[in-house]
Amino acid sequence: MTLPTLGLVGLGKIARDQHIPAIAATGLFELAAVVSPDGASADNVPTFRSQAEVLAALPGLDAVALCTPPAVRHGLTVEALRAGCHVLIEKPPAATLSELHDLVAEAEAARRTLFTAWHSQFNPAVEETRRRLADAEIRSVAITWKEDVRRWHPGQDWIFAAGGFGVFDPGINALSILTDILPAPVFVRSADLHVPANRDTPIAATLEMSAAPGSRIGRVTADFDFLQQGEQTWSIVIETDGETDGGRLELTHGGTRLMVDGTHVLAEPDTEYQRIYRHFHRLIGDGASDVDARPLSLVADACMVGRWHRTDAFDW
């Protein structure tokens, strides 16, 4: 059976660490090309300087996966869809909500699959947490998402440029889990955003959120920090009434592990990207799209209602 061909656009850390191994492990796509403007290459795969070059050289290409900075994803996605490709977009899928809404319309017009791959949603522990919270009285949710930008994005100035998201680049992973596990939507009520004096996007942020009255969801908070040293912290702690499936649920290690009332319930290896590519393959087969704007909406809302604070300059 002939596999659908796929081009990987962007060859940075996430592409090398996650996408290429997942494509190989699942065996559902043939990696036919990679795009790297600086000429970096992957083993035994043709390298191109731009997506346009790939589309011209491989007119029958079935799909692309975009792993570029978010500021350029809208234009690349439109280009790929109009060339007849199905498109998987790394998170966050676009720089703005209006861009994302436009991409939905472009995918419908092109009759191609569009998949916004919020990778943290594809952990079994996240799915199990969603099941346990479906009928729960949720008293509080506390997100703590703190990591070292120098470790995970060394020298990548784009992340602190306008449109680069800053600390929301990792923080949006937590928000993607939050919107996936809660039985009702939450809304940003206030936020404090701390921006280095020489940068454009936040290096730290705190959010206060709540649901609509009568939704059985209490206070929701998020604490994001890009200067965490030592152990990295990616956790969500949920306190419930304890009448359904436990009173305290702790999602840790980026959503890959679940503890309930201090007992480990689920801990699996990091295979979320393999699940992403399996889902993408199914969507293409079904002629469907999967677009989730909720995490991006929460970031946009935080920027709209938040208080902006200038903090110390940041240098690598």
CA distance 123 to 216: 25
Cα→Cα distances 190→155, 208, 311, Å: 31, 5, 19
Position 106: which residue type?
E
CA distances to 120, 186, 198, 245, 254 from 258, in Å: 13, 22, 39, 12, 10
- Give the C-alpha separation, 206 to 147, whole Å: 14
Query: Cα-flanking dihedrals φ and ψ of residue 299, to 5°?
Result: -65, -45
* 8 Å CB contact between 52 and 66: no
Task: Select from 174, 164, 169, 176 the least CA-distant residue to 152.
Answer: 169
Q: Which of 19, 73, 74, 91 is catalytic?
A: 91
91 a catalytic residue:
yes
Phi, psi of 284 (to 5 degrees): -60, -45
CA distance 248 to 265: 12
Please say whether the dihedral angle defined by the alpha carbons of residues 201, 207, 213 and 217, taken in this order, is positive or negative: positive
Q: Work out the widest C-alpha separation in the chain, in whole angstroms.
A: 60
Active site residues: 91
